[in-house]
Structure 1
Amino acid sequence: MVVGGILLTPNRARELNSAMLALKDQAKMGPASEFKWSGYKNGQRKKAYFELVDLFYSMIEKNHLHFHCLICDFNDFDHKHDELNGSKNMFRSVNKLYYQLLVHQICRRYGKKGKIAMYPDHGNDSAEIVSFRENVCKAAYFSHGANFGSLMRIQPYPSSKMLPLQLPDVILGGIAALRENRKLNKNKNELGNYILERSPLADWSETTSRDANFTVWHWKK
């Protein structure tokens, strides 16, 4: 399992949004079309997807954007059962992974400098994290000396209406696919390998420095 996201200032978010709109226009993607790992199947718009990866790493190299992700073995989890249907609730475990990433990476690193707003893609895997905000702030304050209330907002938002959310979807999808040795078609395999080739790592089993602009944290339960 891989969770993560990008961190950037409001001005850089507008810059990223404009650049992604330009890529969509060049690829003749309609207003409702999204950049999504799951949607990249037959190699359509290959140039746009590869240029999106280039844009991602270019902004990291310029210190205009940071990327942080957490990787773990989901089989190690004893997922709590959903009280409504008796099945294992995987989404709750995903939300708890975001909690770890927020406390020990995002708020630890940026919570002493200013206020942080989180905009996860709207869905079941972000539904519960909203209720964790106060606990994230407390844990980051006591564990890492972050400003109290450093995480001022968690607001899930549809990626269809917030273009920058589509960028981490593609990057995280590529990381997860290679890390978990999924069977991929030729086009996805090429894109996933390109994401890795442009990264500072030889493979996704490596752990980076916690204070780099591009971080990979292998978390153990």
Structure 2
Amino acid sequence: MGTIVYFCDESSFFDNHMGVAGLAVNKKTLPSILDELAQINDDYNVVSEVKWQNAKSRRANTHMAYIDYLFRLIEESRAHVHVRFAPFKEYDHSLSGQKKRVATVGKMHYQLLLHRALRFYGESNSIIIHPDGGGCTAELPKLIGALNYDGKVKHGHKNSSVQHIECKDSKYEPMLQLLDVTLGALTAYKNNRHTDPITNATKKELAEYAVSKTNLASLERSSPMTAMKFNLWNVRPMWRR
């Protein structure tokens, strides 16, 4: 029995499609990954947070290096990435309560954790979860019991696999930055921002590059559940089925 550390983030709060994603690594291999990521930062003279939002021409090589490194980790089976897209503008966010959109995103994170992190790893591993801190994820640390209960009911787990949930500040957490760049690129492509004249050329290039690294013909089709290393999940709301 091992320990999986699961980092999660969200992207595109006001777009047609909202993306949430998880980055899973074995706790034992995390230090070596952090060392290699630090070396990339040294190579590209990184002195501030690397994130999709600040992708500009002068930093394009850094962001591309992050995309390359994440997919190399996936290819080497040192990390898994799971992306969940939902047609965000189709939801009635008032049904999520007083916090509306923020609460809807929190529910999206919960579903990602339950149906990817717990489903894939909960039977034989302990799980530590580190969401990017903010209003959308603030309630998740209180939901350990609910996740473990649902893991037993929905996935047949005998153990309570989620041991700890702690939100992190992406400014100080390199793994969240690593996830953010690729998630931002894929979500931009999903929302067709790579074809939008107002999107800067750097982000267009990075979005197209990230999609090419997935080796998927399209972002419209969900991956089979056997695809643990890179799993794409396009949510179909109940009213569409």
User: What TM-score do the two structures reach when normalised by structure 1?
Assistant: 0.91
| 2:208 aligned with 1:197 | no
Distance in 2 (alpha carbons) for counterparts of 1:181 and 1:59: 27
Q: CA deviation at 1:82?
A: 5.9
Give the Cα–Cα distance (whole angstroms) in 2 for the partners of residues 14 and 171 of structure 1.
Answer: 21
1:177-196 residue pairs with structure 2 within 5 A?
A: 177-182=188-193, 183=196, 184-196=199-211
Between 1:183-192 and 1:130-139, the stretch displaced more is 130-139
> Which secondary structure state, in structure 1, belongs to the residue aligned with residue 28 of structure 2?
helix
The counterpart of 2:159, out of the listed 110, 124, 148, is 148
Instruction: Give the equivalent residue in structure 2 for 1:103.
Output: 114
Report the count of equivalent residues: 214
TM-score under structure 2 normalisation? 0.84
Partner AA of 1:203 in structure 2: S
Q: Which residue of 1 aligns with 2:148?
A: 137
CA distance in 1, matches of 2:212, 2:29: 24
Give the letter aligned to residue 38 of structure 1. Answer: Q
Q: For residues 122 and 7 of structure 1, what CA distance do their matches in structure 2 show?
A: 17
Residue equivalent to 1:169 = 180
Query: What residue identity is the alignment partner of 2:33?
Result: L
Runs of 4+ in 1 over 4 A off after TM superposition: none
Structure 2: how far apart are the matches of 1:90 and 1:172? 19
Give a deviation string over 1:17-46, Cα, whole Å, max 9, x none: 11111111111122xx11100011x21222
Answering whether residue 80 of structure 2 is matched by residue 66 of structure 1, we say yes
Name the amino acid aligned to 2:54: G
Q: Distance in 2 between matches of 1:147 and 1:111?
A: 9
What is the CA deviation profile of residues 170-192 of structure 1, one whole-angstrom value per residue up to 9, with x for unaligned ones?
11111111111223210000011
Q: Which residue of 2 aligns with 1:215?
A: 231
Q: Which has the higher strand share?
A: 2
Could you say which residue in structure 2 is the equivalent of 1:57? 71
- Specify the alignment match of 1:10 in structure 2: 27
- Cα displacement (A) at 1:220: 2.2
Which residue identity is paired with 2:87?
D
1:142-196: CA deviation from partner (whole Å, max 9, x where unpaired): 1111243211111001112211110111111111111112232100000111100
Whichever residue aligns with residue 84 of structure 2, its letter is: L
In 2: Cα distance, 1:12 partner to 1:61 partner: 15
CA contact (8 A) 1:108 1:145 kept: no
